[in-house]
Every structure is written in structure tokens, then in C-alpha cells.
Structure 1
Amino acid sequence: MDPVVVIGAGPVGLTAALLLARWGVPALVLERRPAREAIGSRSICQQRDVLDIWAAAGAGAVADEGLAWTTARTYFRGTELFSWRFADAGTLPACVNISQSRTEAILEAAAAAEDLVEIRRGREVTGVEQDGSGVVLRCADGSAVRAPYAIACSGGHAGIRDALGIAFPGETFADRFLIVDLRADLPGWEHERRFYFDPPWNPGRQVLIHPCPGSRYRIDWQVPPGFSLADEMGGGLDRRVRQIIGARPYEVTWASVYTFQSRVAERMRAGRVLLAGDCAHLYAPFGARGLNSGVPDAENAAWKIAFVARGWAPPALLASYDAERGAAAAENLAVTSATMRFLVPATDEGWTARRRALERAAADPAAASAIDSGRFAEPFWYTASPLTTPEPSRPPTGRPPKGALQPPAPGVIVPDAPLRAAPPWAPGATRLRELLRDGFTLLLAADAECGADGGFEDAAPGVPLRVLRPAALAATGALATALGLRPGEVWLVRPDAHLAAVLPRPSRPAVIAALRRALGHTIQETAAQ
């Protein structure tokens, strides 16, 4: 099998390559940088479902090494407005903070240990050509590579979009943000994210503080459009830090200044090329929706390309990539843009409304719901996907409160849950999702009937499909209860752990129909793709 080309060796590209290899599909990674840049925290917050994907890709060390934080606090001047905690589920932490450079190092080590992944550095892709059987990628050094498919994970400034004729509409925010990594001992702050509106040490603007491993902290200051980091190094930076941490010793390990953008590609698929990560979308960081969206992009692209390449699904399955991840990008854009409109209003009227909302919340905790300091990243729900079979008895309920778990419904990711007994074919498994990423899975309630526990190969020959009864994995039935399986139900779970269908009155024809739909057999390709 010819390798699929992955453009870019950042966290999203390496994830895509590792997951392709997990499906037995070789991956060739083309990276323009001659070496990995091991500087700065950059994208630090990784949520539970992304840690789960990395565990499946062989990079579980990200969760092991990251610092798990549990509480998010929001302040206005000297008053705490509210706080929230993550709901507990499974055995992975709800979120860890870890520098992007360390995450890349872990993923790169996993790729180096994988025979089906090759990384070629110093290869900047500058041109793309396609025909009915493959893609030709031309590099700045004059070399060219032909591949059956490509996943573009080349970052926000990717010329690959121009080569594909894909527009990247959006906006750039005028305000700048000073990002500082420092090492210090701050007792009581080790497991809390702190967000400050209008603190006395940054009046009229915001400050965000995140704990990181090794007594390190990441501090983000909103600064005026004309801010200069070079001028700040004359003593201004020390004053900023001292205003927050006092006289404690500290060391700055990295500092940079950013402007944030909100952009989404007009489409995330062009024929045999799929766009992922910053190549497809850029968001303001409040809510950590950048890398936490890019990694699910990579997973979605990898399993679909693998299923088509191995003959398990029709080529039309690839059309669902844009339908699903494009919708996810649009939701993330809407959420982060709303946050930025609250953080950085565009008009005097907006600033006045923001100040009044903060003052009301400081006086009345019931008014805190009007304060937007960023809704933390969460898995997208594929409720409107062409691969999802709707079920009236399990309608989507809308997003739950911050930190809460989603109720099961078609299109929603399956809740993770600890196992009290692992099946013989996965003796080391400790949680449910470790059993769900080897193909499609049928989860059966204890009393569910749908014929023999198998025998669906004639609907999709060769497709990996496993049947599990959660009651058999936990003698007390606690697992089925944690999942929310109702009596008689059968759940069809996709290779990315999302529910493709919930069948309350299962029958063999119903299971076959849901499986065929989840494989893309009912999708009609459009000329635009």
C-alpha cells in the first residue's frame, strides 16, 4: 500500500500519521522545518478526549507527564465571580497542561518507533496536483511525492490552501497578548486556572494564568495594539510579574507577543486532500479549542482514509470529513468569537455593557452567567452528520453546563468509564474507550436481542466489527449504568468512539442499515468535492 502523505510534523500531523499507522496504512510526513522547535509553552491545555486519542496513538505519556488541573476561577478586579470544576469520568484526567514542545517530542518518539511512519524534514510543500487516482505534492527543493491521499496539517500560514484554491475568511484582532512562561512556587495555584477581568495590575484588560508541570506557570496579559516586548524587557516585564506573584523568586523561561485570529477554511476537503488543525481553522485561545480541535480532525481524517484505502468503505466516506469537521470548526469559531466579543468589544457601547455585566456579577452571583471567559473545549457532536442515524427517543439535548458530561445520543461521543474486568483480547484495558478504537463496535444492553453476536460481514465485508455486552465487563452492571444503556438497546459506535446509532428495538436489518450509513454508503458525492 502506498503511503498517505501528511504535510506537517506538528502535534496534529504526527497524530494523523500515528493513527494511519494504527490502521495499517503507511504515512510519510513532509515537514518544512529542519528540526523540531523546542521552545515556549504555546498550546498547553489538552482535554480528556484528546488525551484518549493520543493514548490510542501510542502517546499516552502526554497524560502521564501533564499537570492535571481541576478548577477554573474567574475574577473581576478583586472579587471572585464564579468557579467550576470538571466532571469526573473514566481514568484519564479531565485536562492536563503540558508545553506543546514536550507534546511534540512525545509524539515524535512514538512516530520514530513506528515502522509505518517516516518523517522527512526540510521538505516544504509548495504545490499540489490531483487526478483520479492520487495526489502529487511538489516541494521547494524540487522533489515531488505521489500519494493516494494527503492530510494537510501545515499550520495557519499554510500556502497549501492557496494551492488548493481554498479561501480562509475571518478576522484578526487588534489587541495583542503577551505570553510569558515562568518558573516559580505559588502555593495554592498548582491545580487552578485563574482568569482576571480588569485586575489592578492590568486595568481595563484581562490576565489568564495556567499552572504547568515542574512549578511552571503560563501567564497571558492582554496588552494594547502598540505594545513592544523589546521595550518591556527594560524592567516592565519584571513589574508585571511582581504585581501578580509578589516578592517570590521566579525565572522567565520564554516570552512572546501574539495577535489572535478567528478564521475557518471555506471547506476542509479538496478531492483527495483533507485540511486539519491550524491549516483549516484558527481561533482565539480562550477555551483551548485550537489543538483540542485539530487532534479530532486528525483522528477523523485517519480512520476515514484508512477505511477507504483498505476497501472497507466507499470513497464517498471522505465527503463526510468536511461535513463533520467543518461543522465542528464552525461551532468552535462561534464559541471563541463570542468570547472575544466579550473580552475585546469593538465599540464603546460594547465596553460599557461588558463593564456593567461584570459589576452586576460581582454584586449578584446569579448574574454570573452573562460573563464569558471562554467555554472549555469539548468534543463536537455529529448529530447532523450524514453518517449518523437519528433516534427520536434519544434526541440531542444541547450543551450541558460547563464541566458537565454530555448525555448519550446519536452523534455524541460515548462516555468513558472504568472497567472492572477486561476482555481476554485486551487484558491490560482499564477503561471502555480502550476497547472502542479498533473498528466499529456494537454495545448491547444485557437483554438486547439482535440475532447472534456477529454475522454482519455480509453487509460490509471485511469491516472490523466487534460486539460487546458491557454487563459482562463489570459484574455489578455498573458499566452499563454509567453509560446510560437502556433495557433492550443496541449502540453502534464508530472507530472514533462517537455513537453512530442508538437502536431501541434492534433487528438485524436495522443494525445493517445503521452500519452501512456510518460507512458512507448512503452519501452522494457532489461535484464541488
Structure 2
Amino acid sequence: MTVAVLGSGPVGQTAALLLARWGVPVVLVDEHEVRDPVGSKAICQQRDTLDVWASLGAGCLAEEGLTWTTARTFHRDTELFSLDLPDGGSALPPFVNLSQARVEEVLDELIAAQPLIDVRRGHRVTGLAQGACVEIHCETADGPRRIEADYAIAATGARGDVVRRALGQHLDGVSFRDLFLICDIRADLPGWAAERRFYFDPPWNPGRQVLIHPCPGSQFRIDWQVPEDYDLTAEETGGALDERIRAILGDRPYEVVWRSVYRFHTRLVERMRVGRVLLAGDCAHLVAPFGARGLNSGVADAENAAWKLAWVLRGHAGEELLESYHAERHAAAVENAEVTTATMDFLVPQDEARRIHRTKVLAGGVHAEVDSGRLAEPFWYADSPLTTPDPGRPFAGRPPRGTLPPPGPGVLLPDVTVVPGGRLRDLARQGFLLLTTPGVDAGGVRSVEIPVGGALGARPGEAWLVRPDAYVAAVLDRPAPDDVTAAVRRGMSSHQG
């Protein structure tokens, strides 16, 4: 009863830790002997991602990260508007900016202390085959190695072509022509530590965009949109990079901690479950980073995959439960692609009509029409085969930007506390949980009583069934024990009915 996790970036690390928490032995495979400890990479970790990590013992990530509270948007040299972000009433911040390197360091410490996780570094995956198990073929410094596991999670990232080819999958989609230059800068910028700044067409990067994010330790992440023929080495050698930075910072000391050039993509695999292998994170989907939907959606992949694999391996559910992983997480990937593509179409118009539209919007300065990215949010599984619909709570579709759908079937449980049991999400992550209003019989299912109304808006006589990933599977009105049993069965099977 073993799961191989291929790739030990944050998505693979999270998957391994979640599986181990469910009591599943894990072989964590990575091609690198050691980590690269430098570079911000994925920096914006959303509240529900922090929640998952806190449940694993990594609550320090929320404490160490920096949360900016003001979003400033500029057009050329004029500030269009600024928005102050509410905290949402949770014990966790709405998001933090924290380098991916620090996230990996903390998760590695947890993995090292977990006896159920066997880490195999320096193992480059060269092939994969499936039958009664998954066979992973690797090349190491000591020669070829073969690893067998009951199932595998492929979190090998955007460059995981070997694994995707073995599964008959391809990252289909588009790549944007322009490049983006990232620089992590350490500097003293009074007043900037609580602000995110977005510049459309600034005088010092005409015709393109610049995004500035504050990070811990007096560091700032700056992203410049640059032409497709941009040459970082030539710009560094000739002094143009210093000029580019000083156009923003002015005449003050600074240090370049890390720099890189990358291209934006919108690409998805056709299938996120292929037999005994589940694809997760950038191995399955690539989106532009505006809105921070890459790493955050990958962590959601990991949690979705982990509990379902654990339930199948424990014999609680049949293998068909794994098909719901594809149904739910591929739909989330499509949603992320649609949202980020709309942002990229606004940032980099692909035709004259879109350029004219953007010019009018920016000239008008109406912030509701300016698209600089919709922050990552939990996806909703309203159409999942595991969700029992509630006619009294129909899902209204994608909610307005900056808001979440109201609680109901298919929606992540709100982050609320109950007495004396603690946070509802923590209770849910111990297995299926029934939330009952006064007078409702739980029918032998693990349960906790909730008040009528409250954060869920529960009605008299209702029972709310919550999955092990804290998503609402069903809302039942005055249920008999058989109704609860049927909802639990549906919550563990991709077969409807």
C-alpha cells in the first residue's frame, strides 16, 4: 500500500505529507540531489493553501509571510485607484507573499520528521509503466533504479514531459510571445512594504506592464513585461538592467538577489487521471501567474488526490473514486485558464479591438473594469459526481471578483470555529463529518452540532455532510439515516445514483 509522488516541489511535498497524515506510505522521488535555495518563484500563497499547510504543522508560513493591504494601480505616470483589502475575519491572512524556496524548506523539515515518507533524491524519471501497479524507471548516479507503487501522483512540473508522454498526455494550449523579467531586489523603500503596485504602460517600460510585490526581509519582487527577443545577459553587461531598476527605485542602494526570464503559458492536459496515475500542479496545467493560480491550484490538486487515494487504499471506496479527481480538478484547471487568459488578453491585447477597449478602460479609470488579475480562490465542485445537489441552494456560477460563493453543496466550508470542537475545517480533515442542526439524528456518522443560521446559513432541520477535504458534499433537509448513508456513498463514488 504505497503511493509514489514524483517531484518534490511544493505540490509534491504537500501531497506526500497529506498522504502520510492519512497513514499511507509514500516514496517521494525527485531528480535533484539538493535544492536551489534562491529565488522567489511562486510567491503568493492564498489563505486556503496556508490552511492546508497549517493542518500539516506548517503554520509558521502564514506567520512569516508578508501580507500587503493596499493594491495600487497606475496608468503611465498617473495612479488610477487604490484598493484596501479586508482580512475576511479569519485567523489566517487572505494571502501572504513568501518565497517558494522558504516554503520548500519548511515542508522539507516536516517530511524529514515523517517516517512514512521515503525520500529518493537524485532519481531522474526516465519511464513509467502501469499494470497491477505503477513502475517508475529512474536514472541515478549509481545506475538505473525501478520503483513500484500501487498508485502515483505526478507533480513533476512544466518540464515533466517524460511522465506526460508515458501517459499519452500533452500540455495543449498557447504560449504568449512576450517575455517577463523577474528581479528579486533587496532595498529600503519606506511605505512600500504594505503595497502591491501595478503599472500599465509606465514611461520607463512603454507599451508594457510592470508589477511590484513586497516580500519579507526588505525584498521586492519586480516583474517587467519585455519583448520576445529580450537578452538579460546583454542588459546586465551593458548596464541597462541597472537603469531599468533605478527607474523604479531611484538613486538608492539596492541588491539583486535573483533574476530570471520566463514566458507565460495557458496549457492543460486532456486527462488528469490516467489509470493509476494522477497528474497534479504544473505537470497538468500551466496558467499565467496574475492572480497566483498556479501553486495554489496545485496544492488544491494535492489535497483532492491525497484523501481519495487514501480512501481507495484503505478499502473505504472503490477505484472509481479516483475518476472524480479528474472531474473536479480538470474543471478547476479550465476555470483558472479562462480567468488568467482574460487577464492576459487585457494586459497584452491580441488584436486592435481589444487594444481599443483597454485604452478606453484605462482612460476611464474605473477599477471594476481594469483586469490586473483575479486572486486565486477555491474552486467549487457544484457539478461534481460526488456532490448531492440542493434545489434550495442552486449554484449561481462564478462569483464576482473578490467574493466567494455562498456556502452550499460543492463549496469549501467557511473557515469558522465551533465550540468545543475547534475549527470546522480541522474536524472535517479527520474524515467525513456531519454538521447537524438541533434535533437532527446523525445516524451514526461522526457529527458536530451547529446553530441555525451562523456562517453557513443553516436552516432548521438541516444536516451538512462535509468531505475529508472540507468541501460540502450535501445539504440534507430533515434526513432519515438512509438519506445520510446515501449521501456518504455518493461522496465516495463517481457513479451517480
> How high is the TM-score relative to the length of structure 2?
0.95
Match of 1:223 among 218, 222, 226: 226
CA distance in 2, matches of 1:108, 1:97: 19
Q: Structure 1's 80 and 418: CA in aligned 2 closer, same or farther, altered over 3 A?
A: farther
SS in 1 for 2:16: helix
Give the Å deviation of 1:207. 0.7
Q: Is the 8 A contact 1:448 1:490 kept in 2?
A: no
What residue is the counterpart of 1:181 in the other structure? Answer: 184
CA distance in 2, matches of 1:379, 1:192: 24
Deviations 1:151-202 (A, max 9, x none): 0000101120001111220111110101010112222221222211111221
Give the Å deviation of 1:395. 1.1
What residue is the counterpart of 1:282 in the other structure? Answer: 286
What residue is the counterpart of 2:157 in the other structure? Answer: 155
Structure 1 residue 336 and structure 2 residue 325: aligned? no
Structure 1 residue 437 and structure 2 residue 410: aligned? no
Deviations 1:202-257 (A, max 9, x none): 11111111111111110101011111111221322222222212223221101111
SS in 2 for 1:217: strand
Q: Is the 8 A contact 2:2 2:25 kept in 1?
A: yes
What residue is the counterpart of 2:375 in the other structure? Answer: 376
CA distance in 2, matches of 1:134, 1:510: 36
Give the Å deviation of 1:86. 4.1
SS in 2 for 1:143: strand
Which one is further off, 157-166 or 484-493? 484-493
CA distance in 2, matches of 1:179, 1:165: 33
CA distance in 2, matches of 1:438, 1:191: 36
SS in 1 for 2:264: strand
Calculate percent identity across the aligned residue pairs: 56
Residue 67 of structure 1 aligns with an amino acid whose one-letter code is L
What residue is the counterpart of 1:510 in the other structure? Answer: 483
CA distance in 2, matches of 1:374, 1:140: 40
Q: Is the 8 A contact 1:501 1:514 kept in 2?
A: yes
What residue is the counterpart of 1:56 in the other structure? Answer: 55
Give the Å deviation of 1:22. 0.4
Deviations 1:295-317 (A, max 9, x none): 00001010000000001111110
Q: Is the 8 A contact 1:91 1:418 kept in 2?
A: no
Q: Is the 8 A contact 1:385 1:411 kept in 2?
A: yes
Give the Å deviation of 1:108. 0.7
Structure 1 residue 80 and structure 2 residue 80: aligned? yes
Match of 2:444 among 435, 449, 455: 455
**Which consecutive residues of structure 2, in runs of 5 or more, have no partner in the other structure?**
none
Structure 1 residue 33 and structure 2 residue 32: aligned? yes
What residue is the counterpart of 1:497 in the other structure? Answer: 470
Q: Is the 8 A contact 2:385 2:494 kept in 1?
A: no
Give the Å deviation of 1:76. 1.5
Matches within 5 A, 1:176-325: 176-233=179-236, 234-325=238-329
What residue is the counterpart of 1:461 in the other structure? Answer: none
Residue 156 of structure 1 aligns with an amino acid whose one-letter code is A
Q: Is the 8 A contact 2:66 2:96 kept in 1?
A: yes
CA distance in 1, matches of 2:139, 2:415: 44
Give the Å deviation of 1:350. 2.6
CA distance in 2, matches of 1:184, 1:485: 50
Deviations 1:342-380 (A, max 9, x none): 11122233323222221122xxx3xx3322111010000
Matches within 5 A, 1:389-408: 389-408=388-407
> How high is the TM-score relative to the length of structure 1?
0.90
**Which consecutive residues of structure 1, in runs of 5 or more, have no partner in the other structure?**
424-428, 457-465, 472-476, 525-529
CA distance in 2, matches of 1:469, 1:191: 40
Q: Aligned pair count?
A: 491
SS in 2 for 1:28: strand
